[in-house]
Structure 1
Amino acid sequence: MRSNPTGRQLRLGRELRRLRESAGLSSTEAAQLIGIKQNQVSNMEAGRIGVSPERLRTLACHYDCADKGLVEALIDLAAERKRGWWEEYREVLPAKLLDLAELERSGHALRTAHTSGIPGLLQTTDHAREVFHQVVPELSPREVDLRTSFRIKRQGVLFVHREPVPYQAVIHEAALHMRFGGRDVARQQLKHLLKLSEHPNVTILVIPFDAGGYPGAGQPIYYVQGAVPQLDTVQLDQSHGIALLDAEAQLNKYRKVLDRLTTLSLIETESRALIHRIIQTS
C-alpha cells in the first residue's frame, strides 16, 4: 500500500469517487457489487492502492459510465509509470512541484496567463534564478539552485519528449517591463521570448496597456488539458505554495477567464512586434 500517493494517483482516486457518487452508491455498495471489501474501495479512491484495467472497467460499468473516452483515459492514468526525471528531486522539493511536472508530461495542451511575470516554462536560467532569489522567506543558495534547475528541466515538455505539446502563454505588457536581474538579464529574457515564439507549438500573446481592465485579478493561471475535459487541471500560485484544482466549476471558470484574456491580447505578429519594441527601448 502506498504511504505517499503521487498527484496522478490521487487524481485517479478522486475521479473514481466522483463516478461512484454520481451513480448514487456508497463505498460499501460499490464493494459489494464487485466482490471486494469496503476498505479496498476507500483505498483505491485515496490513491493508496492501484486499480487494474479490468477492475476499472467493471467499476465504470456498475457506475453506469458510458463515456468510453473517459474510461480509457482513466485506465491510462492508472497505468504504472517509469520513474520520471522529477523523481531525483523528491524529498528535496515540495511534492506538488513534482506532481506539476508529471501533470505537464501527460498534458495534451498547456495554457497560461501572467500579468506581472514571465511564465516559468518561458524563463531563461538567469531570470528564473533571480525570481527565486526574491522568494520570501529567503531561500538558501542550494534551494535556489534546485528550484532553478527544476524549472529549466520542466521546459523540456515543450521541446524534448514525444510530439511537442501545444503551449499558449498570455502575458501582460507590464510583465515585459519588469527588470528581474537588471537590464541585461531582462533584455535577454525578452529576446528569449521572441526566439521561443518561433516554435510552431508555442504561441505568445501580449495584452497591451491600452487593452484596459481584465479578469482574473492578476493571478497567474496555468491550465493543463488532459486526455478528456474531465481530466483537465488548473494550477494557481499562492502565498503558501501551489494549488491544483480539478472541480468542474473551477475548470469552467478558468477556461472562460483564459478565453477572455486571449481576446484582449494582440495577435501573434503584433505581440512579437511589441516585444521587439520594448527590447529596442529598454
Structure 2
Amino acid sequence: MNQPLPPAAALFATPAVKVTHRDDGATLVQNPIPLEPYARCVGEYLEYWAEHAPDRPFMLERSPAGLWVGVTYRQALDKVHRIGSWLLKLGLRPGQPVCVLSDNQVNHGVLMLAAMHVGIPYSGISPAYSLLSQDHAKLKNLVQRINPGVIYVGGAGRFKAALRAIDGLHGAQLVVADEDELPNAEALHFSDMLVEADMAAVHKAYAAITPDTVAKILFTSGSTGYPKGWSTRSACCVPVFRPSDRSGRFWPNSRRCCLIGCPGITRLGAIIISTLFWAMAARFILMVASRFPACSTPRSTTCAKWLPRCI
C-alpha cells in the first residue's frame, strides 16, 4: 500500500535560481549556490556505496513472476568490474561508444555504469526509433554517426526488424539479454561479459578518467529532423548524483534504490523510483549542470522555463 508522500523539502533542495533578462533579448539562468566539492566521476559514488552499504538494493525491476529482482551496490560494482574488463579486452577506443537500443532495465543501467567506469562513452538510443518507426531512418542515421563498438538489446525479439535495418551499417559486437535467442552466430549473451574481472586493467582505466572525459553521448528528440548529438563530460554527469547541499537529498543515498518500470512513486521516504529512460535522465543532468562552473557545456536559453521546476 502506498504511504503518504513526505514534504517536498525532504526530497529536494530548496529552489535557487537567478534569472537575468538582457537588453539583447537573451535570458541568463544562474544558480547562486556556491560550488561544493564534487566527485571526479560517477564511479566514485558506486564504489563508495558498495563499501558502505554493500547489501542494500541499488537497481530493481519486476521479474516475469512479478517479483522485484536486481542488484545491490556490491553486486552492481562486481558486474561493472567484469563488464569493464570485457570492454577493455575488446579493445574499444573512446570513439567507439557502447550503444543501447532497449528500454530501462537493470542490465542496461549496469552496462552504462561499466562503460563510464573504464572511460568508454555510453549512448542510449530511444527505443521508439527501433519499435515505432517503419523505415528506421533515425536509427540508421544514429548508428552510422555513433560508430558503436558494442550494441546491447534486451528483449531482442521485439527488435528484430530494427537489427535487420542496421545490419551492415556498423561493426559493433552485438549483445542480447540471457533469455533472448542469439540473432546471429557472432552475437553474445549478457552473461558472456561477466566471465572474469581484470582488476589491474579496470583500475588503470578508471584512474585515467578526468572530469573532462566523455561519459555519454546524448541526442535531442529529433522533432525537427535527425537527432542532434552532443558529448557530455564526466563533470556534467556528477551533479545529478551529488546533492546540491549536504542534506543527502538526491541519489546517492544509502536508504534509497532505483526501481525500474513502476507506474508511480511509492514509499518516497525510503525509495526513489525512476521512470525516466536513462538517456532522458542525462538530458535532465545537462539542464542542472549549469550550476557547476567546471561544466563548460553551452547553456541554452530554453532551459529558463525548465530550471525553476527542476532544481
- TM-score, normalising length from structure 1? 0.27
For CA contacts below 8 A with separation 6 or more, give which structure has more relative contact order.
Answer: 2
Bigger fraction of residues in strand: 2
TM-score by length of 2: 0.26
- Structure number with greater Rg is 1
Q: Which of the two has greater helix per residue?
A: 1
